[in-house]
Amino acid sequence: MLVTGGAGFIGSHTCVELLGHGYDVVVVDDYSNSSPGALERVAKIAGRPPAAVHEIDLLDRRALSRVFDEHDIDAVIHFAAKKAVGESVELPVEYYDTNVGGTTALLRAMHDHGVHRLVFSSSCSIYGNATKVPLTEEDPAGPTNPYATSKLLCEQVLTDVCRYLPGLSVLALRYFNPVGAHPSGLLGEVPRGAAPNNVMPYLARVAAGRLPKLSVFGDDYPTVDGTGVRDYIHVMDVAEGHRVALDHLDKGSGMQVFNLGTGQGTSVLELVAAFQRASDTPIPFEITGRRPGDVAALVADPNAVARAWNWTTTRDLTAMCEDAWRFQELNPSGYPN
């Protein structure tokens, strides 16, 4: 199994899931927003390391082709991408280059080496300013930032390629907001930079006293308390969903899309309260203006994947916060360099 971006937050947890179920895993990562230390933790948790790790950029097509030359790849799980909404507004060219260009480079390498099974890491952000919640896979896309647009473009590329190559089987998973950490406390989210882009690691650093307060971007949304509502899903549920997806790639060719979420919406202030309970620590916050590209509410309708795979998420918001806090306490500075 080739996992691109396998040292990242979701990729590393998925590697643990795959290794624990008997898969041999090959990882490709350029470590632009990840650490080799994550893969050391993966090996410790799983009891065995990935079969191989290649430090390359997917845009380096020759290096990527050599990975396929060296390993007998059966299927690919594609995580490698830039993923920060706010940053994408400031750096749109970089996001299209990495996310769309990396996907087309991967597809070419797969085709050249006779690999026809792909699980693609998509995003709920493609729904944009949704007019209703929860969201089904049939609801229209309306991305509001370059990150979301890049994911939608990748889905369109995959749909077109599946028409051109009828033997290709692709599952695109639009997961909602992954949070939490491995319950061991050994593996979690370690974003680069002093101030994380994602809310859960930011909350953890505020609770640990490493950051002074949380900025809540907007309190005038049409939601229960005016703050943004999201469908938070435990990262281990996301990892399990990708592993289960592999079991369904052989059930037909073409492109299929599924939401991965809990179906439960949580506002930012509700998340703050839950994290305060998990950490037993007051978390100061301030309300600031809305962040460009953000939307009021994104909540999944997870019924399609439940019907198709007989699979649902099992971990609740309390587990998400407790696991994230455990990782923060055990790894105050992230992974060792």
User: What CATH code is carried by the domain that includes residue 249?
Assistant: 3.40.50.720
Q: In the prediction, which pLDDT does 90 show?
A: 93
149 inside domain: yes
Count of structural domains, the chain: 1
Active site residues per annotation: 147
**Residue 86's pLDDT is what?**
81
Using an 8 Å Cβ cutoff, are 206 and 61 in contact?
A: no
Residues comprising the chain, all counted: 337
Give, for 169, the enclosing helix (H) or strand (E).
strand 169-175
pTM: 0.96
pLDDT of 194: 60
**Residue 119: predicted pLDDT:** 98
Query: Splitting the chain (337 residues) into consecutive groups of 10 residues, what average pLDDT does each group show?
Result: 97 98 98 94 98 98 98 98 89 97 98 98 90 92 93 98 94 96 97 77 94 95 95 98 95 92 97 98 95 86 97 98 97 86
Rounded Cα distance between 251 and 161, Å, is 18
Residue 161 lies in a domain: yes
Is 165 a member of any domain?
A: yes
User: By residue range, what is the domain housing residue 149?
Assistant: 2-179+232-261
**145 belongs to a structural domain:** yes
Q: Tell me how far CA of residue 145 lies from CA of 15, 154, 175, 181, 219, in angstroms.
A: 29, 14, 17, 27, 20
Is 75 part of any domain? yes
Specify the pLDDT at position 250.
Answer: 85
> Residue 60: inside a domain, yes or no?
yes
Tell which residue, 81, 241, 251, 82, has the closest CA to residue 172: 241
